Structure 1
Amino acid sequence: MNLNNRIKLSTMMFLEFFIWGAWFVTLGTFLGHNLSATGGQSAAVFSTQSWGAIIAPFIIGLIADRYFNAEKILGILHLVGAVLMYQMYNATDMTAFYPYVLAYMILFMPTLALVNSVSFNQMKDPEKEFSTIRVWGTIGWIAAGLLISYVFHWDTDQGVKDGLLKNTFMMGAVVSLILGLFSFTLPKTPPKVASGEKVKISEILGLDALKLLKDKNFAIFFISSILICIPLAFYYQNAHSFLSNVGLENPTGKMTIGQVSEVLFLLLLPVFFSKFGFKKTILVGMLAWGVRYALFAYGNASDLSFMLIIGIALHGICYDFFFVSGQIYTNAAAGEKYKSSAQGLITLATYGVGMLIGFEVAGLITDTYKTSEGAFDWKMIWIIPSGIAFVVFLLFTLFFTDKKKVEA
């Protein structure tokens, strides 16, 4: 890959994940303080990510892969997204906010696949080249968090009280506009499928790979993937609100420790995977979810603040050792015939169905443990997903058999 394209693709990844990190991390706190949202209402807003993940394959499979260049669709989606983000910035109540965030996530989630498609199209050896491009996405997410906490100070106690968190949407809108325009300068990525060629809906959604569920081990992995997304949803929906509520300074900036951890453990994953095999690797990931929430339940922002920091830092193990190793396992278990369909199916099961259930459960639990004075019993709110993670860990330990090591 020539240097010009490498710089363009790295910039694209940086901006793509900067946009997401600019508003999604602080969303829970914004909803609670700026829009006085209940746990159920927050769950509905966070669930738009799942609806976006469910609808994304149709946009990619029926439009992007058949009629238009990927970089042009990426540009259009981000330009429209900038307008929607600006409307989210202006919204003053949940009734006005929800339609815009739903529309935005339906348009944003397909861009995650589009940036990968544009990148892969320029690579001769994606296995070696992609990670050096994708890492700029994580750097973008980290940069957004650091700006919010240490430059603009929007997430301080006073900043939250003054409603400054809504500025995250304006920042996201501006960067979305920049990426939308920049996308039209990206390397050309033509449609993969001829416009007249028939495409089955089952192929788009990965439903062809349902045949893999006949294998007991894959079925257990599939069910576990859905179940582990329930505790995962608690982190997305409640972590920033919790850290702000208990008084941890610069919570958005400190949460970027999780992304730094993600990069480090991603580098360690191939070594761990090849040495210990899939089952032990994914069990470590499941165990990390349970431990992380237990640390949140019993830690505080003063003498036990180190427990909160460790909990944040465990994000790398939680995400990489479960989701990334799961993608590797799925790729090996599916074989050539169902490789693409299987990845689509797992994405639909986790970010679609699993997270959708998870956000609903998280909203219900949060409302249940909210006192009449408006305070939260954070200990119980974190103990419950911790318990769920440990149950999934136990079920996977007992019923999954690692017949052979999958080569990372």
Structure 2
Amino acid sequence: MNIKLRLTILSFLQFFVWGAWLITMANFWFGTKHWDGTQFGAVFGTMGIAAIFMPTITGIIADRWINAERIYAILHVLYGATLFLLPHAESPNSFFYIMLLAMCFYMPTISLCNSISYNVLKNNNLDVVKDFPPIRVWGTVGFIVAMIITNLTGNKATEGQFYIAGAVAILLGVYAITLPKCPPQNLIDKNAPLAEQLGLNAFKLFGNYKMALF
């Protein structure tokens, strides 16, 4: 199979497993569970919480110890398995913590998906700047297709939306294993200060007025 087509499928599925429930979850929360609106808002905060630290942790692991495509696959299988648990939450609090766990598995896969794509394109002598955007746009298409499927199958207010996302996420994990290998590159010196290893040096960018304003 053409390598760009394989990466297109990767991008499509990456956002499919998010779009299947992200927009329609409110129907399940309010229409089926009849839970409180304030607590529903907190559930969306799980994405931000997970995004603060999980990409850094998985990035260090992928840089030093485990192939990027393997940790990507593991995270998606765990994400899918966690989504299967969500409908069984008996209270908003338990739903929150299960969702937080799911987001800890999912959020770092977004950056890993990009890293894998960049790595594979470069190793195949392709132009990342030219060839990646047409691949990435299919992620948006995947998100939209997932929403359509969830709605047309009558699952926008049922636990089915999480089962759809969970099943495809596990399928994506299996698919990721078949991708070209992306071995650790050891770009970060193991003797580097902890702040550098955690990527905290990036905060120096705020010293630039335009970056701080952005």
Q: Normalising by structure 2, what TM-score?
A: 0.88
Distance 1:128 1:9 in 2: 14
Q: CA deviation at 1:206?
A: 4.4
Distance 1:173 1:41 in 2: 23
Report 1:3-402 matches (<5 A): 4-123=2-121, 124-149=126-151, 151-155=152-156, 160=157, 164=158, 166-193=159-186, 197-203=190-196, 206-221=199-214
Deviations 1:61-94 (CA, angstroms, capped at 9, x unpaired): 3211111000000111111111101001332432
CA shift in 2, pair 1:94/1:218, >3 Å: same
Deviations 1:307-355 (CA, angstroms, capped at 9, x unpaired): xxxxxxxxxxxxxxxxxxxxxxxxxxxxxxxxxxxxxxxxxxxxxxxxx
CA shift in 2, pair 1:77/1:196, >3 Å: same
Q: CA deviation at 1:107?
A: 0.9
Answer with 85-94 or 188-197: which moved more: 188-197
Q: Which amino acid aligns with 1:187?
A: P
Q: How many equivalent pairs are there?
A: 210
CA shift in 2, pair 1:211/1:99, >3 Å: closer
Distance 2:148 2:213 in 1: 39
Deviations 1:184-231 (CA, angstroms, capped at 9, x unpaired): 10111111216872354433554324334344343322xxxxxxxxxx
Q: CA deviation at 1:126?
A: 0.6
Q: Which amino acid aligns with 1:143?
A: V
Which runs of no fewer than 5 residues in structure 1 stay unpaired? 222-408
CA shift in 2, pair 1:202/1:154, >3 Å: same
- Whether the 8 Å contact between 2:55 and 2:107 is mirrored in structure 1 is no
For residue 64 of structure 2, give the secondary structure of its aligned residue in structure 1: coil
CA shift in 2, pair 1:153/1:60, >3 Å: same
For residue 154 of structure 2, give the secondary structure of its aligned residue in structure 1: coil
- Whether the 8 Å contact between 1:82 and 1:172 is mirrored in structure 2 is yes
Q: Normalising by structure 1, what TM-score?
A: 0.48
Distance 1:84 1:199 in 2: 35
Q: Which amino acid aligns with 2:42?
A: A
CA RMSD of aligned residues (A): 2.1
Higher relative contact order (CA closer than 8 Å, sequence separation 6+): 2
Distance 1:216 1:70 in 2: 34
Q: Which amino acid aligns with 1:178?
A: L
CA shift in 2, pair 1:203/1:76, >3 Å: same
Q: CA deviation at 1:174?
A: 0.7
Aligned identity (percent) is: 37
Task: Give the structure with higher Rg (CA).
Answer: 1
Answer with 54-63 or 74-83: which moved more: 54-63
